[in-house]
Structure 1
Amino acid sequence: MAIEIKAPNFPESVAEGTVATWHKKPGDRVERDELVVEIETDKVVLEVVAPQAGTLGDVLADEGDTVESEQVLGNLDETASQGGSSKQGDKASSNDAGADTPSAEQKADTQKTDGGQQHDIKAPSFPESVQEGTVAGWKKKVGEAVKRDEVLAEIETDKVVLEVVAPADGALTEIKAEADSQVESEELLAVFTEGAGSADGGDAQPQAAASDDAESEGSANEELDGKILAPAARKMVAENDLDASRIKGTGKGGRILKEDVQKALNDGSAKKASGGEQKAKGQAASKANKPDAAAQAAPAPVEGQRPEKRVPMSRLRQTVAKRLVEAQQTAAMLTTYNEVDMSAIMALRAEYKERFQKAHDVKLGFMSFFVKAASEALKRFPDVNASIDGKEIVYHGYQDISVAVSTDRGLVVPVLRNTDQMQMADVEKTIGDFGKRARDGKLGIDEMQGGTFTITNGGIFGSLLSTPILNPPQTAILGMHKIQERPMAVDGKVEIRPMMYLAISYDHRMIDGKDAVQFLVAIKELLEDPARLLLNV
């Protein structure tokens, strides 16, 4: 029976996509949930996985073709998979007789060996803005047993760390790109063999049999629960020890997508009833013990020594340094300052913070006020929301605000989309999620691309005043600072008020000084009278 393989259901803001890469050829064997084809839209690359095990039949949309939401891309022959074993047996017999020798093209990505099916492990497909990456490290050694979706290696680009996972149970046969080597998009990293590898280095066949049993058991459990998970979603469920039966799938046929798992992870609705707390406690205990062990292993410093340590600069740090220098060299950057009385906002937070947290399950912070105030001010001053592209000015009819997040690896700037339409609770939740995933290196590349304006908050580190540097091709950036009580003249009297210095750096090629000052004054007025945010006055 033929099963249709369709393009994903695109969101409203995405009209169409392009068939980027077919990972299988007609006649190739495909397992359920295995990646078949990738669809590239103007915002993100979407994975299309096999709804059932079978053999890929006709391909109806070639690479480079433009497709619409839920358009049929190809067919999957489920009947062919059921008769696969007998056909493979017939082919094996004919091969012994010297016939039906597979072509070199068929062996290119996947081939059959005595140890099991072989796969080429390739670097992820980088977007246009990322030219290359660095193999940060291999998590598995050659011959070491690996489970499907387990991380094999990490690729560090100038924006994010990408994980390369195992396509099946097995082991690495050969590593082609060593740690710290530079790789390009979809470059061959290693060769992986299904069923190979074992913990004690024994025969691979028992391991393969156990792997098949594990897969069969996993499939049975999924059928029992009535849940089908996409590969990325299954990986997140395993990493966070979640109960898949508690996650609502929004994909085709109720399939659980990565976004569904992330949502369940944020609201805590998919935590396991038992075992999860013990695992968390075990991890906490393990982390608590690590510093002691490290302290014991570290040699005591000798008095009078002047130690030095040289480490290579990460690609992210190199890119940040390069962009900051370019911003100062190419833009006519100027900074203007003002100060804002935070009394009204602090009083508002004090009055409603408990009810806000109870209603939205997130704390009410200062960033949501600044994001909403900036969104309103950007509407009034379109030049500040514009960007420079060569000799052209691009005016954006929307507000996508980048928020600077500091991590151990360096500064990353994820983007809040359509902030004028976001509620304050949504802003706080999204920023909190960005911060957590940025520190864990889990942000996607698409989440850090774009943006029409940037906000950076040095006040959380105690900065009283600073000059923020532009985030090209944007033409302005707002700097927040520490709230500090200062004596202020109010109606002829001296009062102690919680004050914050604001700084806006802007590209004078695009923005006149008058507009920059008025933009900052607009933010100041909106923050000092928060009711104006609701009334749009």
Structure 2
Amino acid sequence: MAEIKAPVFPESVADGTIVEWHVTEGQQVNRDDLLAEIETDKVVLEVVAPDNGVVTRIVKQVDDTVLSDELIAEFEAGASASAEDAPAVDPDQPAAPVQPKQATDGGEPVQASAESDHKDQSPAVRKAAKESGVDPKNVEGSGRGGRVTKTDMSNPTLKADSSITSDSGRPVAEAVGERTEKRVPMTRLRKTIANRLLAASQETAMLTTFNEVNMKPLMDMRTKYKDQFEKRHGTRLGFMSLFVKAATEALKRYPAVNASLDGDDIVYHGYYDIGVAVSSNRGLVVPVLRDTDRMSMADVEAKIREFGGKAQEGKLGLEDMVGGTFTISNGGVFGSLMSTPILNPPQTAILGMHAINDRPMAVNGEVKILPMMYLALSYDHRMIDGKEAVQFLVTLKELVEDPTMLLLDL
């Protein structure tokens, strides 16, 4: 008999929660089949079968808290599912039709379409349904034949006659004419994000300084070289890679912005691990680019795109999220003109990028229309003086407005 244990969590992760079992006791599985999902305060981890065999006992149930390397199930390698576990089938009788599932709402049975629950739902829709507690059969579908898509689930339009229930049978939304309400529990990740943001605003002396950057030189460079860049490196040339490289250079010049606080100690980092805020269906996550001073712009672009794909698929691992000495958040992709980003403790600074808009600017006594972006640097005033913060942001601005300075190490 083998043991199936939770993954080994890093020191920064205390425990996790079983959010779903994909198998039942006595079920036969193949090697690397998905058995369970464990949600931590950073990512969702998958537990897979170590070999071909049978899951003989499930020790930890859904919503149970598990510790690092804790036993969650027992497994018998090489075994086959017992015939007693399979339903008896009369060969002389036709196969019975699939019966609709039933959920209870105040003791009264509520029919749910098996076809809707299985055939017409993609894995992404089923996953979104579990996270939100909204049954897809109560959502207006925009796909072919009224099929519910992942996009529909991310911003659901409820059917007017729906009485939405969660998996537990408790109502989470009720329709009254065209007015609906929905009540769903926070995920563990969302709770952690909320707690960290609240702690950052309450426990740090956070201050934000602003500047604006002329994006025309960078946009001209991108237009001129984007095709050659993609052909040579196999990835598209975006703006984020140059901001990462410019931030890395600015961090070298102002080490306090790259430092962190540990109690009464200031920790100056001799490396540059920049977190890039990425939006996912589960909330905001911050995977980390390691040693950005050693990465090329192509390396940065490829890694950011890899992170983005993993975030949307829920595949970011703990190793992608741990650490970081500085963070960049780009609200401009959603149209934000200006914001004050919140610190990501124990880091002491975070850079906010915003939308690029054409604005009239005075240049050498003349008015010109230029693509401008507001930059915001939030920092912990306990650690970083205003002078350093402003000089850091001005340095970043100068490097972005004249990218050749990075090449010439000026």
TM range (shorter): 0.7 to 0.9
The question of 1:139 aligning with 2:22 is answered yes
- Residues 458, 293 of structure 1: alpha-carbon distance in 2 compared, 3 angstrom cutoff: closer
- 1:183 match: 66
C-alpha separation between the residues in 1 aligned to 2:6 and 2:218? 48
Deviation at 1:202, TM superposition (A): 4.9
- 2:323 match: 450
The question of 1:333 aligning with 2:217 is answered no
Larger radius of gyration: 1
Deviation at 1:475, TM superposition (A): 0.6
Decide which of 34, 54, 60 is 1:171's aligned counterpart: 54
- Residues 466, 169 of structure 1: alpha-carbon distance in 2 compared, 3 angstrom cutoff: same
Q: After superposing the two structures, state which structure 1 stretch, 129-138 or 170-179, moved more.
A: 170-179
Deviation at 1:144, TM superposition (A): 2.4
**SS, match of residue 255 in structure 2:** coil
- 1:206 match: none
C-alpha separation between the residues in 2 aligned to 1:121 and 1:353? 48
**Which consecutive residues of structure 1, in runs of 5 or more, have no partner in the other structure?**
1-117, 204-286
- Structure number with higher relative contact order (C-alpha < 8 Å, ≥ 6 residues apart): 2
Q: Which deviations, in whole Å up to 9, do the C-alpha atoms of 1:239-278 show, x marking residues without a partner?
A: xxxxxxxxxxxxxxxxxxxxxxxxxxxxxxxxxxxxxxxx
The question of 1:292 aligning with 2:147 is answered yes
**Which consecutive residues of structure 2, in runs of 5 or more, have no partner in the other structure?**
88-141, 162-175
AA aligned to 2:18 is V
Deviation at 1:127, TM superposition (A): 1.4
Deviation at 1:305, TM superposition (A): 4.9
Q: Which deviations, in whole Å up to 9, do the C-alpha atoms of 1:133-190 show, x marking residues without a partner?
A: 0101001122222111111001000011111111221222221211122111222212
**SS, match of residue 10 in structure 2:** coil
The question of 1:526 aligning with 2:385 is answered no
Q: Which deviations, in whole Å up to 9, do the C-alpha atoms of 1:470-505 show, x marking residues without a partner?
A: 011111000000000000011111110000000000
Deviation at 1:517, TM superposition (A): 0.6
Deviation at 1:337, TM superposition (A): 0.3
- 2:120 match: none
- 2:6 match: 123
Q: Which deviations, in whole Å up to 9, do the C-alpha atoms of 1:435-481 show, x marking residues without a partner?
A: 11122122221221111111000000000000000011111000000
- Residues 121, 530 of structure 1: alpha-carbon distance in 2 compared, 3 angstrom cutoff: same
**SS, match of residue 500 in structure 1:** strand
The question of 1:405 aligning with 2:278 is answered yes
Deviation at 1:289, TM superposition (A): 6.2
C-alpha separation between the residues in 2 aligned to 1:373 and 1:156? 35
> Would you say the 8 A contact 1:145–1:199 is kept in 2?
no
TM-score, reference length from structure 1 = 0.60
Q: Which deviations, in whole Å up to 9, do the C-alpha atoms of 1:216-238 show, x marking residues without a partner?
A: xxxxxxxxxxxxxxxxxxxxxxx
C-alpha separation between the residues in 2 aligned to 1:483 and 1:299? 35
- 2:300 match: 427
Deviation at 1:309, TM superposition (A): 2.2
- 2:389 match: 516
Decide which of 31, 53, 57 is 1:148's aligned counterpart: 31
- Residues 291, 169 of structure 1: alpha-carbon distance in 2 compared, 3 angstrom cutoff: farther
Deviation at 1:345, TM superposition (A): 0.3
- Residues 137, 289 of structure 1: alpha-carbon distance in 2 compared, 3 angstrom cutoff: farther
C-alpha separation between the residues in 2 aligned to 1:289 and 1:119? 46
- 1:485 match: 358
The question of 1:197 aligning with 2:81 is answered yes
C-alpha separation between the residues in 1 aligned to 2:340 and 2:83? 55
Deviation at 1:299, TM superposition (A): 7.7
Q: Which deviations, in whole Å up to 9, do the C-alpha atoms of 1:338-396 show, x marking residues without a partner?
A: 00000000000000000000000100000001001000100111111111110010111
AA aligned to 2:328 is I
C-alpha separation between the residues in 1 aligned to 2:230 and 2:84? 52
Q: Which deviations, in whole Å up to 9, do the C-alpha atoms of 1:70-112 show, x marking residues without a partner?
A: xxxxxxxxxxxxxxxxxxxxxxxxxxxxxxxxxxxxxxxxxxx
Deviation at 1:291, TM superposition (A): 6.1
- 2:347 match: 474
AA aligned to 1:153 is A
C-alpha separation between the residues in 1 aligned to 2:51 and 2:146? 35
- Equivalenced residue count is 335
> Would you say the 8 A contact 1:146–1:197 is kept in 2?
no
- 1:386 match: 259
AA aligned to 2:147 is D
C-alpha separation between the residues in 1 aligned to 2:61 and 2:297? 46
Deviation at 1:199, TM superposition (A): 9.4
TM-score, reference length from structure 2 = 0.78
- 1:345 match: 218
- 1:376 match: 249
C-alpha separation between the residues in 1 aligned to 2:49 and 2:272? 39
AA aligned to 1:506 is Y
